[in-house]
Amino acid sequence: MATAKQKMVHWDPADIKAELIKKYPPKVARKRSKQIMINEAAENGTPEITANVRTIPGIITMRGCTYAGCKGVIMGPTRDIVNLVHGPIGCSFYAWLTRRNQTGPGPDDENFMNYCFSTDMQDSDIIFGGEKKLAAAIQEIYDLMHPKAIGVFATCPVGLIGDDIHTVAKNMKEKLGDCNVFAFSCEGYKGVSQSAGHHIANNQIFRHVVGENDVPKEGKYKINLLGEYNIGGDGFEIDRIFNRCGITNIATFSGNSTYDQFASAHQADLNCVMCHRSINYVADMLETKFGIPWIKVNFIGANATAKSLRKIAAYFDDQELKDRVEDVIAEEMPEVEKAIEEIRPRTEGKTAMLFVGGSRAHHYQELFREMGMKVISAGYEFAHRDDYEGRRVLPFLKVDADSRNIEEIEVEPDETRYRPRKTEEQIAALEKAGIKFKSYDGLAPDMEPDTLIIDDLNQYEAEKLVELLRPDLFCAGIKEKYSIQKLGVPMKQLHSYDSGGPYAGFKGAVNFYNEIDRLVNSRVWSYMKAPWQENPQLSAAYVWE
């Protein structure tokens, strides 16, 4: 039970860390202590953190499951693929419209995202197997709606009873003829977090959809945007900026996306990776199979947006694009600067904590920097070591039992369609000019020394951190929101943005400044105590005057 009354003004991160793990049983304390890192500059980078490991049972974690990562995160935002969940009703119900992925029906008037499809497995299906019911469900959906694709998602019992969803999908695809049916073995118990589900989704979408459409896509500067989920309309804002710059976004993986976007993704000339954690697999596979290089971008933060646009322009090495990008930045920035000038006196020096996702705890630091706010502690819910320490650690990552059972698909260069977009010399020249390919340095180098970086933060540690450090703002997800706010500290959801957004790009940055200004300066946080609690002494009896 915490009361966040006193703020520790001068704190030693080692003391805070000790405080966080003090109450744990010894085994838990040992494990957690490896996932809590005091940031400092070390030789060749930052200190080592343990990540992507099992959550300790009974510790109230923020994490979800593999199904959530696969169906909820990656496949959820595609509007014209029917997502059929094979399992008891709950899994499909909870992932029904709860992630705020925005989309419109598009010119083909197809949008299944407002629907929830489930085989609603009953005990008889568990005992006798659910394959027949699954096949029948696919047929019923086809007869009702004629979608161009149906994705089938496995839930926990499906793997346990051994339903062969891939064969059912294959058979139904053949039977239906004009409907691509594919399945995802994303049972909730696989892996240690949502992250395994991202990987499974990436594999299957690459295997079954990417490269299916060779009808040429027009565009001078063709890119894919990977790892952007259009929460609160982020993707709309980024697309608006791309359009202004003359950049053609062939496919977004997967915000506001369509089947055809994925199918045509191999036609792009550059992959821009937003969320490294959830989608780097697709970026690597697209490079190996089709010869499309990838760069890391970030459209969270006005400066980061400008920087990312310049990176894209530098890649295409075309003066017309470079000029256009500079013009767009010059036109967009005044509004951003005006907003910063307005709010910064009220946000300057305030502190924030960010515990979210596999990239957002990093990306959003850009916006807080622009507001003059300091991020004193941050961490991811389901990231791997490379998201903290950079891809330089990839060769040293230990593959444990939980990672080993997530399929790695072998990709070979496509016989006819592999086409390196740049020569080795061009790549070398671009790298010399500062464009890094296949590169991500992670969160730690961007955080100040002596800040605390914590992986898979749990309820107890969150409460303790807020109690000890009393930040002006805490950012995490819906489950954490109200316990933090009960402490009198505003909490911003950075998974679903509460009800706000977009926060990406230039207009999104302005939205975010205003939202954070509203949160950290709200009057409500001064109402915790009634006047008689502040001044409990009784005075002499009142009389009417």
Partner 1 sequence: MLLRHTPEEISERKAVTINPAKTCQPIGAMYAALGIHGCLPHSHGSQGCCAYHRSTLTRHYKEPIPAATSSFTEGASVFGGQANLVQAFNNIFTVYDPDVIAVHTTCLSETIGDDLPQIRKKALKEGKIPEGKYVMCASTPSYVGSHVTGFSNMVKAMTEFSESTGRKNGKINIIPGWVEPCDMEEIKRIASMMGVKSIVMPDTSGVLNAPLTGQYKMFPDGGTTMDEVKATGDAVGTLALGEWCSADAARALDKKHSVPCSVLDMPFGLKATDRFVDALRKIAGVNVPDELLVERGQLVDLISDMHAWLYHKKVAIAGDPDQLIAMTEFLVSLDMWPMHIVTGTPGKKFEKRIREITAELPFEVNVKAKGDLFLLHQWIKNDPVDLLICNTYGKYIARDEDIPLIRWGFPILDRQGHQYFPTVGYKGGIRLMEKILGAILDRKDRDDPEIKFELVI
Q: Please identify every residue annotated as catalytic.
A: 65, 68, 99, 198
> Checking DSSP bridges between strand 36-38 and strand 452-454, what pairing results, if any?
antiparallel
Report the run of H or E that residue 329 belongs to, with start and end. Answer: helix 319-347
In contact, 46 and 388? CB cutoff 8 Å: yes
Structure tokens at 295: 């760069």
**Closest to partner 1 by CB, 59 or 394:** 59
In angstroms, what CA-CA distances link 149 with 38, 130, 333, 498? 47, 21, 41, 31
H-run or E-run covering 37: strand 36-38
Q: Position 246: which residue type?
A: G
Measure the CA–CA gap between 147 and 90, rounded to whole angstroms: 24
- Nearest to partner 1 of 23, 220 (CB atom): 23
Shortest spacing between CB 496 and partner 1, in angstroms: 10
- Give the dihedral of Cα atoms 387, 391, 397, 400; nearest 10 deg: 50
Nearest approach in angstroms of CB 449 to partner 1 is 30
401-415: burial string, b at 16+ Cβ within 10 Å, e else: ebbeebeeeebeeee
Distance, CA of 269 to CA of 241 (rounded, Å): 18
Q: What is the dihedral of CA 61, 516, 17, 455, to 10 degrees?
A: 40
Smallest gap, in angstroms, from Cβ of residue 177 to partner 1? Answer: 20
Interior/surface letters 167-193, b for 16+ CB within 10 angstroms, e for the rest = ebbeebbeebeebbbbbbbbbbebbbb
**Nearest CA among 404, 355, 411, 425 for reference residue 383:** 355
Q: If we measure between CA atoms, which residue out of 263, 270, 149 comes closest to residue 214?
A: 263
Helix (H, G, I), strand (E, B) or coil at 228: strand
**SS3 (DSSP) at 75:** helix
Q: Which is nearer to partner 1, 134 or 283 (CB)?
A: 134
AA letter at 205: I
